[in-house]
Amino acid sequence: MRRYVASRLAQSALVVLLSLTAVFGMVRLGGDPVLLFLPMDIQAKDVNEIRQRLGFNDPLPVQYARYMKGALHGDFGESLRYRRDALGLVLERLPATLLLAGTSIALTLVVAVPLGLLTAVRRDSFVDHAGTIVMVLGQATPGFWLGLMLIYLFAVQLRWLPTGGTGSLAHLVMPSVVLAAFFSARVARLTRSAVIDVLGEEYITTARAKGLAESRVIGKHTLRNSAIPIVTLAGLEAGQLLGGAVITETIFAWPGLGRLTVQALLNRDFPVVMAAVSFTSIVYTLMNLAVDLAYGWLDPRVRVQS
């Protein structure tokens, strides 16, 4: 197990370094980076002065080394708009995103796993067909459209919930439902197919043959064995929540990391963009690492193979 952990840690460290490099490369993708950093209506003589000040007149390897050194120390430069440390701005927005993501994950586990289990156990029944239709529809519905429709229904027509912003529990309802909708549909489908696979195994037939109560067969033998694929895939999907948060937070004016990223992109505030995108990537990598380690812990066969 120790060797497995060490090799996964080394791999993740490499991915983090390469991802930071990719962020650097991405910003250079559009040609002259200074033009990205500045408003459209700037004077030509100012451009060169700013290029000098931000160090874009140096050779690329020098700039790269300086960027990596800063990034590894958590220094992505100063926000061009707020005149403040870029990473500080990102960290300030983090709790709001974590609250939203945490609520969505909890909502998903409460709704999706029982739904997937139920449809798998009652396979080909009315419940299964109805449940599958809900899952397929949930997977196809774009979150930002669902968000607009919920705002129309619950905020404009019924006036039960606020249209956006933050402050009370009521503000949390719609964003977390929207964020959880797509995720739940995926997790429910995964649960359904994982449980169906396990139900086909011989040890389930054995458990039934020796006369165990159905509740024990499902609750203990089936659910525990289907947990491995569910944990893995749900963990990987949870990373996509960070991506989904970009859109959901914008619709509901939720002051999180996703909305900060979109605003920084719109304002051409690239130090903040670099900090936010790098931070998201690192969190995502760490989540993948956690999933892999959980996987190795749940299923000893994985450790031996790698």
Partner 1 sequence: MSLKPPGTPGHPLGTDQLGRDLLARVLYGARLALFIGVCTVLVTAVVGGLLGLVAGFVERWPSAVLMRIADVQLSFPFILLALTINAIVGLGLRNIIFSLSAAGWVVYARVVRGEVLSVKQRDFVHAATALGVGRPRLLFRHVLPNVAPSLIVVASLQFSQFIVAEAAISFLGFGVQPPTPAWGSMLSESRDFLYVAWWLAAFPGAALALTALGVNLLGDWLRDTLDPKLRV
Binding footprint of partner 1 on the chain (CB under 8 A): 11, 14-16, 18-19, 22, 26-27, 29-30, 36, 136-137, 139-145, 148-149, 151-152, 156, 189-190, 193, 233, 239-240, 242-244, 246-247, 250, 261-262, 265-266, 273, 277, 280-282, 284-285, 288
Nearer to partner 1, 101 or 217 (CB): 101
Nearer to partner 1, 29 or 44 (CB): 29
Minimum CB distance to partner 1, residue 105 (Å): 15
Minimum CB distance to partner 1, residue 273 (Å): 7
DSSP string, 106-119: HHHHHHHHHHHHHH
Minimum CB distance to partner 1, residue 186 (Å): 9
Minimum CB distance to partner 1, residue 212 (Å): 28
3-state SS, residue 85: strand
d(Cα 28, Cα 232) in Å, to the nearest integer? 35
Euclidean distance between the first and the last CA atom of the chain, given in angstroms as a whole number: 10
Minimum CB distance to partner 1, residue 213 (Å): 30
* Angle at which helices 86-121 and 270-298 cross, to 10°: 40
Asked if 166 and 96 count as a contact pair (C-beta separation under 8 A), the reply is yes
Nearer to partner 1, 151 or 207 (CB): 151
Dihedral sign computed on CA atoms, order 156, 173, 105, 20: positive
Dihedral sign computed on CA atoms, order 209, 211, 215, 221: negative
Nearer to partner 1, 31 or 59 (CB): 31
Nearer to partner 1, 107 or 262 (CB): 262
Sequence-distant (≥ 6) Cβ neighbours of residue 204 within 8 angstroms: 198, 217, 221, 222
Minimum CB distance to partner 1, residue 261 (Å): 7
Nearer to partner 1, 172 or 272 (CB): 272
d(Cα 170, Cα 165) in Å, to the nearest integer? 10
* Angle at which helices 257-266 and 86-121 cross, to 10°: 130
d(Cα 11, Cα 15) in Å, to the nearest integer? 6
